[in-house]
Amino acid sequence: MHAILYYPLAALLLLTACTSGKMNHEPVAATNPPLPAFDLEGHRGARGLLPENTVPAMLKALELGVTTLEMDAHISQDGQVFLSHDPYMNREHELLPSGEEIPEADAKKYVHYQMPYSRIRTFDVGSKYFSKFPEQQLMKASKPLLSEVIDSAQAYIKAHGLPQVFYNIETKSKPSGDSKYHPAPEEFVDRLMTVVDEKNIRPYVIIQSFDPRTLQVLRRKHPDVKTSLLVENLKGLDHNLTQLGFTPNIYSPNYKLVTPALVEATHKLGIKLVPWTVNDLQAMQRLKQMGVDGIISDYPNLFQEL
């Protein structure tokens, strides 16, 4: 595959959103909108098609008609909120600023929380072939600021007359990573919500996490913000909700954990059930027939067939 420079498109979209030299931060909604009736979420944008958690991946997901952009948030050494799944540069699909491979001995050397964002941005996260996603289009790309992603997405929505989408933002944290890979939950939430409110997208934001602590901080400080509990354990709905301590808007398990009984139980509690990460059309159809409330997929192009 040939590398394609995607920056001109992103720059054009950012320019479209500018007014008198400033980004257009007008609120996208005056009320608290309901979640989509059936939520089509592009996982890390459109990871199966373009480099994950990048502006091009998010714009591709919008082009394909998603109702929610799903993404992962990390915090840099200088407190910037940016998109990344891993807490360090992943040598599987990311390159050094020089364009060279990250040596295996340095696989976990480049920790984001120990680098300023200005340095993080110099790594190339889109030009290396990723065998797990052979259809992924190669292009030079960087890990973007959350603010940049929002500006680009809102500009694209406006330019193409699309319905407003939701932003499902995962806080990538766990107790063992505090002060090593990320700040403590309180600071993580504060920095994330500062960006959300600067961009006036609070009504359309969902904060998700495997870490109940960040959701608990969010519930205490921002009870109006929608929450989603991510689950990959076998402990069951009752246990996981007890650990969380409140009823989230969304329960989001690994799709293999979904059963008709789980669908019924979540719906009885008024919770939407949105499983991850479903990359097979037949599995999507089966889950939809079972009654789930949405699908998170690396391949949002499959939603057109669903």
The backbone torsions φ and ψ at residue 31, rounded to the nearest 5 degrees and listed phi first, read -125, 180
Residue 55's pLDDT is: 98
Residue 129's pLDDT is: 97
Residue 300's pLDDT is: 98
pLDDT along the chain (306 residues), means of 10: 43 43 50 94 98 98 98 98 98 98 97 98 98 97 98 98 98 98 98 98 98 98 98 97 98 98 98 98 98 98 95
- What are the CA-CA distances from residue 102 to residues 98, 114, 119, 182 (Å)? 10, 17, 15, 22
Residue range 235-246, pLDDT digits in tens: 999 999 999 999
- DSSP lists the bridge partners of residue 132 as none
The backbone torsions φ and ψ at residue 65, rounded to the nearest 5 degrees and listed phi first, read 90, 25
d(CA 170, CA 41): 13
**Residue-range domain boundaries for the chain:** 41-304
Residue 31's pLDDT is: 78
Residue 6's pLDDT is: 43
Mean pLDDT over each residue of the chain, to the nearest integer: 93
DSSP codes, 153-220: HHHHHHHHTPPPPEEEEEE---GGGBTTTB--HHHHHHHHHHHHHHTT-GGGEEEEES-HHHHHHHHH
Residue 28's pLDDT is: 57
Q: How many CB atoms lie within 10 A of CB 34?
A: 7
Say which CATH class 41-304 falls into: alpha beta
Residue whose token pair is 């364009």:
99
Q: DSSP label at 129?
A: -
For residues 67 and 165, is the Cβ–Cβ distance under 8 A?
A: yes
288-298 core/surface letters (b: 16 or more CB in 10 A; e: else): eeeebbbbbbb
Residue 15's pLDDT is: 44
Residue range 40-73, pLDDT digits in tens: 999 999 999 999 999 999 999 999 999 999 999 9
Strands 22-23 and 18-19: antiparallel
Q: Would you say the C-alpha torsion 69, 74, 80, 83 has a positive or negative sign?
A: negative
